[in-house]
Amino acid sequence: MAGATRRLAADTDVIGRDITPLPDLLHGRPRAGPVRVRSPVYVDLLPPCNAACPAGENIQAWLAHIEAGHHEQAWRELVADNPLPAIHGRVCYHPCESDCNRAQLDSAVSIHAVERFLGDLALERGWALPASPARSGKRVLVVGAGPSGLSAAYHLARRGHEVEIRDTGGEPGGMMRYGIPAYRLPREVLGAELQRIEALGVRITCGHRVEDLAAERHEGGFDAVFVAVGAHLSKHVDIPARDAGRIVDAVSFLRNVASGERPAVGRRVAVVGGGNTAMDAARTARRLGADDAIIVYRRTRAKMPAHEEEAEDAEREGVRINWLRTITAFDGPTLTVEAMELDESGFPQPTGRFEDLAADTLIVAVGQEADTAFLKAVPEVEFTEDGTVMVSSSMMTGCPGVFAGGDMVPDERTVTVGVGHGKKAARHIDTWLRGATAALVPKHESATFDLLHLWYFGDAARRRQPELALDVRVTDFGEVLGSLSLEEASYEAARCLSCGNCFECDACLGACPEDAVIKLGVGHRYRFDFDRCTGCGTCFEQCPVHAIEMIAEGG
């Protein structure tokens, strides 16, 4: 995070941390002795938020730029890794916050809200990406215009390659457009960030289904291919039903609504499944006029694949969730379910106890599969039992020059994971096209909470995003969450503990009893004068973020 500072003139900063220099009594501390047995060194550790980000963002760096008031610099730091910050600030499940050290002090930094603020600010101010470098002469075909394909295209274009995306959908975006409802991701935000990728020279061809990959690669003169077709096929479940029962699959249901249709679902809707798609389907049904929306899930809340905040939002909007229930029959408007009980191993077992629920429509959301059948004809491509494609650590399939990522490879299925796959694939595709060998860059050690010295940090309550009132949000598809203000985003950025990386707080400078710490100027940190340093370790003990290590002399 070199170059980023957190310094203010007063003795406290914007969130109330005490930054008064340490008492002069430290300067009276006796020397350790004439022979220094250990020496301080400045280090850079890996912040847990950075380590947890599937898109590989340098979160700590762009937060520091925001705190310093350098918003465009922060955005450029962010989009160096992720081209879709306004989208991610809305739909990412922010694993970075789950690992944020601040959560053990009071509450995690609201990283996703600050990212959204930054993404929206870039759209508002019209910040443009730098022009792509000179053309490499290489062409890459990307199959699929979802988050993974768009990310790969973006990073490849920034490396000078000519990229064309081909997608079966009517418009680009994949499940971001056709699976995530507008109340979570407004379509104007999606379109604006995609336009920025096209402005780099990426060509997007929609309404084009790739069926013969080898032929398209040959006819288009493509030197490499990245396949990221997503998981758009609904898994099926056998539910006995009569003609009176209206059953739809969740993927088709959400796609139709996203395309502008407003299907009649009746007053009472049941959804079977416990994932994020089930939550979105139930919340969408409420917005289509269902007075009663109920989710039927065969396991417990603890085993629910949906993210907890998705389930909480659904319940707040009036969706009821029936745990440990399985559907045995649907004879609209009657839905028959069987109660389940956990056995000794925690697995649900049928009990023979049945109950009837009222439902005009049943929406099935039991999982999705990728349509990878067209890859069966590609030599050396291997598949897992569930039909996903096996790739190496470089994201390449068994067929040379054919890479894959996103929902069609074994991994967690989220927008952020897909974007990370695209970024990683682009790096390896570029290396492969140049005939080079990928260099393995070792990661820094992690800056865990126990390494921090919390004397520096005061309590600071997390800022919350504004929300639509509950009675308003279910009436249409308006965005539920609002954005932080500039002041709130700056405040949240200032809550970052800068774990493991010097942010020039002057603690080492003020603490050193020998005046052996030399300040090099804003953005340049410090250095040690080892003619003065006794190795007493005061600087190490007082550094709030563990940016100093003590090492044995000669070690």
Task: Estimate the crossing angle of helix 187-198 against helix 111-125, to 10 degrees.
Answer: 70
CATH assignment, 139-232+376-433: 3.50.50.60
Q: Look up residue 86 and give its amino acid.
A: A
pLDDT, greater one: 295 or 5: 295
Q: Look up residue 400 and give its amino acid.
A: P
DSSP per residue over 46-86, as a string?
B-HHHHH-TT---HHHHHHHHHTT-HHHHHHHHHTT-S-HH
The reported pLDDT for the residue numbered 497 is 96
**Element spanning 186, H or E:** none
DSSP code of residue 527: E
Whether the domain at 139-232+376-433 and the domain at 234-368 fall into the same CATH topology: yes
Count of CB atoms situated within 10 Å of the CB of 330: 25
* Distance, CA of 197 to CA of 527 (rounded, Å): 42
CATH topology assigned to domain 24-44+502-552? Alpha-Beta Plaits (3.30.70)
Backbone angles phi, psi at 194, to 5 degrees: -70, -35
Angle at 93 between CA 91 and CA 95, to 5 degrees: 145
The reported pLDDT for the residue numbered 27 is 39
Would you say 525 and 503 are in contact if contact means Cβ atoms under 8 Å apart? no
Examine the pLDDT at 20 and tell me if it is beyond 80.
Answer: no
The reported pLDDT for the residue numbered 459 is 84
Judged by average pLDDT, the poorest of 24-33, 170-179, 194-203 is 24-33
pTM: 0.90
Stretch 435-454: mean pLDDT: 87
User: Which residue spans within 118-160 are E strands per DSSP?
Assistant: 139-143
* Average of per-residue pLDDT values in the chain: 90
CA proximity to 55, closest of 131, 135, 154, 129: 154
Examine the pLDDT at 436 and tell me if it is beyond 50.
Answer: yes
DSSP code of residue 513: T
> What are the sequence ranges of the domains in the chain?
24-44+502-552, 48-127+452-494, 139-232+376-433, 234-368
* Distance, CA of 302 to CA of 312 (rounded, Å): 13
Give percent of the chain with pLDDT exceeding 70: 92
Integer angstrom CA distances of residue 360 from 243, 266, 267 = 12, 5, 7
The reported pLDDT for the residue numbered 22 is 40
Place of tokens 């005009």: 360
CATH topology assigned to domain 234-368? FAD/NAD(P)-binding domain (3.50.50)
CA proximity to 499, closest of 434, 445, 441, 440: 445
Q: Which pair of tokens denotes residue 12?
A: 């406290």
Q: Is 451 strand, coil or helix?
A: helix
Q: Which pair of tokens denotes residue 449?
A: 């909470």
For the segment 23-66, what is each residue's pLDDT rounded down to a tens digit? 433 334 444 444 678 999 999 999 999 999 999 999 999 999 99
CA proximity to 370, closest of 228, 232, 167, 212: 232
Would you say 283 and 319 are in contact if contact means Cβ atoms under 8 Å apart? yes
Examine the pLDDT at 458 and tell me if it is beyond 90.
Answer: no
- C-alpha 404: how far from chain center: 19
Of 243-257, 432-446, 540-554, which one has max mean pLDDT? 540-554
* Bridge partner residues of 271 (DSSP): 295, 363
Burial of 352 (0-12, 13-18, 19+ CB in 10 A): exposed
* Distance, CA of 133 to CA of 161 (rounded, Å): 9
Stretch 82-102: mean pLDDT: 96
Place of tokens 């009657």: 334
The architecture (CATH level 2) of 48-127+452-494 comes to Orthogonal Bundle (1.10)
* Distance, CA of 81 to CA of 56 (rounded, Å): 6
* Distance, CA of 555 to CA of 553 (rounded, Å): 5
For the segment 140-168, what is each residue's pLDDT rounded down to a tens digit? 999 999 999 999 999 999 999 999 999 99
C-alpha distance across the termini of the chain, in Å: 27
Q: Look up residue 423 and give its amino acid.
A: K
* Distance, CA of 259 to CA of 9 (rounded, Å): 53
* Distance, CA of 119 to CA of 186 (rounded, Å): 13
CA proximity to 144, closest of 219, 226, 59: 226
Stretch 399-423: mean pLDDT: 95
* Distance, CA of 429 to CA of 424 (rounded, Å): 9
DSSP code of residue 545: T
Integer angstrom CA distances of residue 183 from 259, 366, 433, 468, 470 = 14, 22, 41, 10, 13
Examine the pLDDT at 339 and tell me if it is beyond 80.
Answer: yes
Task: Map 414-435 to HEC letters.
Answer: CHHHHHHHHHHHHHHHHHHHCC
Place of tokens 């470089």: 394
* Distance, CA of 136 to CA of 165 (rounded, Å): 18
Backbone angles phi, psi at 527, to 5 degrees: -140, 165
